[in-house]
Amino acid sequence: MQPPPASLPLLSATYLSHLLFFLSILWFFLLYLIQWRQTRNKHLPPGSMGWPYIGETLMLYSQNPDSFFSKRQKRYGDIFKTHILGCPCVMISSPEAAKAVLVSRAHLFKPTYPPSKEKLIGPEALFFQQGDYHSRLKKLVQDSFLPSALRGYVSEIEQIVLKLLPAWENETINTLQEMKKFAFDVAILSAFGAGWGVETERIKRLYHRLEKGYNSMPLNLPGTPFNKSMKARKLLNETLRRVIEKRRERKKQDGGLLGVLLGSKDHKLNHLTDSQVSDNIIGVIFAAHDTTASALTWILKYLHDNEELLEAVTKEQEGIRRGIIEENREMTWADTRSMLLTSRVIQETLRRASILSFTFREAVEDVEFGGYIIPKGWKVLPLFRSIHHCEDFFPDPEKFDPSRFEVPPRPNTYMPFGNGVHSCPGNELAKLEILVLLHHLTTTYRWKVVGEDDGIKYGPFPVPKGGLPVRVIPRNN
Ligand code: HEM
């Protein structure tokens, strides 16, 4: 038999690659045509949609997002359109427009997350809900983070701090990683309540496996990071069900968010199912720890770079320490309320670093907005960071200056915890844990940044590149 000519496979490979190229051009063209037909008679906001499908994604991810937003804001104004991550978007950077999307016309803009995130956290978690079910669930979650509930956590949080800090002494630590450990332990405490140690080590281990998938490709094939995370999510569910069952059997709900969810007396919510409960426990752990850890990392950086401010904060904390020692007692909620300068440092950090630079909503119908139409299905992004860095509201915005919070900011110009129905229920807990940690850190230690100041990494929260390695030394050495 004659062997086939050697050039044939070569020819068919060339032919195939040409065909693929042609089909992709056709595909992009069709997408462009569909997009154009859907919006041709609508008065859309100004802006560029970039390339078909790819849009301006590469531009956003290849540069500092601040300059991406500010260039467009200068060119097109406070409402402009763009196209990122396969979605047409409208970005808004005026306080009034952000308030309309998040508060006054919130029913027209639903929260939206990538489906993979929903699968990993659990579809029944608070973030993904809207309407009556959302407000009832939100009320429960808020109840468990009210100051009256948090008072009881002060000494528990203090114990976590006092266990963590000595391990840093005379060591070089990665600030972000250490702060994640701390915020994670506090999140677990707030989710399950004090003294509920059963299964928490297993829950921690499984959660760490789960979180590896948050920023991975959503490819659920054996061996992929996403697949491993989905497996961890399944095991986490089984573990949480055992914990829920035990608590239900005891007929005593105990503390934490879990206690509040299991003890719900809201007749419309009925008894929450196990999956409603576990999705919300995982949701809160997810929401609580990377955000707070980023904020703490930035605070250490700003205090390190502003020596005088660090000394002033230390003086405030030493005054409180003296009171605690004189009265021979533990730290209380009232102590944390008297940390006025330290609280302004937190406020200014949340403005300057803007931990959540923006959030996503989706128009549920064609919405007339500021003289334009936002078509149904388009994403809408209120740009918190741009508002926080606008010099009309915060003069000399790049300067770290806690004194600007001696007077309250103008309404709707300061939204580190969001605004409206989906605003953060954990803001008081976040501030509390930061205050307790800063109390002990500033009165006992000093820290020195190791290596070069490398700038910012956005992944997805802005953090100092490299996680801010610092050397921690006892203060009076
Ligand atoms: C410095 C730390 C934190 C920051 C900067 C922060 C920021 C935010 C922001 C901006 C939102 C609104 C998102 C949106 O509108 O789409 C939000 C929502 C949320 N946060 Fe936080 N957060 C922090 C800490 C916490 C903590 C400690 C908890 C829990 C104990 C928590 C639980 C939640 C939950 C459950 C939601 C969803 C609320 C809803 O959809 O109704 N957060 N957070």
Q: Is 390 among the annotated ligand-binding positions?
A: no
Ligand 1 atom 40 nearest Cα: 127
- Degrees, nearest 5: CA angle 227-228-233: 95
Residue 112: give the domain boundaries.
38-119+355-388
Assigned domain for 46 exists: yes
Whether the predicted pLDDT of 457 surpasses 50? yes
User: What is residue 271's three-state secondary structure?
Assistant: coil
pLDDT digits (tens, 9 = 90+) for 283-325: 999 999 999 999 999 999 999 999 999 999 999 999 999 999 9
Ligand 1 atom 17 nearest Cα: 424
Band (242; pLDDT cuts 50, 70, 90): very high
The CATH code of the domain that includes 75 is 3.30.43.20
CA of 18 to the centre of ligand 1 (A): 49
Assigned domain for 93 exists: yes
Burial of residue 65, with CB atoms counted within 10 A of its CB: 0-12 exposed, 13-18 middle, 19 or more buried: middle
Assigned domain for 200 exists: no
Phi and psi (nearest 5°) for 51? -80, 155
Assigned domain for 113 exists: yes
3-state helix, strand, coil in the chain (%, to 5): 60, 10, 30
pLDDT digits (tens, 9 = 90+) for 66-122: 888 889 999 999 999 999 878 899 999 999 999 999 999 999 999 999 888 899 999
Assigned domain for 89 exists: yes
Q: Which of 424, 435, 461 to mutate to test the pocket of ligand 1 (most atoms within 8 A of CB)?
A: 424
Q: Mean of the per-residue pLDDT values for the chain?
A: 90
Nearest in space to 363 (alpha carbons), one of 42, 93, 44, 108: 108
Phi and psi (nearest 5°) for 148? -60, -35
Band (41; pLDDT cuts 50, 70, 90): low
Assigned domain for 441 exists: no
Q: Which atom of ligand 1 is nearest to the CA of 350?
A: 5
Is the CB of 65 within 6 Å of ligand 1? no
Ligand 1 atom 36 nearest Cα: 424
**pTM value surpassing 0.85:** yes
Where are the alpha helices (H) located in 193-339, listed in sequence order?
200-211, 225-250, 256-262, 274-305, 307-326, 333-337
Is the CB of 98 within 6 Å of ligand 1? no
Assigned domain for 415 exists: no
CA of 350 to the centre of ligand 1 (A): 13
Assigned domain for 54 exists: yes
Number of domains in the chain: 1
- Alpha-carbon span 28 to 33, nearest angstrom: 9
Q: Which atom of ligand 1 is nearest to the CA of 283?
A: 35
Least-confidence region, from 57-71, 169-183, 286-300: 57-71
pLDDT digits (tens, 9 = 90+) for 362-403: 999 999 998 999 999 999 999 999 999 999 999 999 999 999
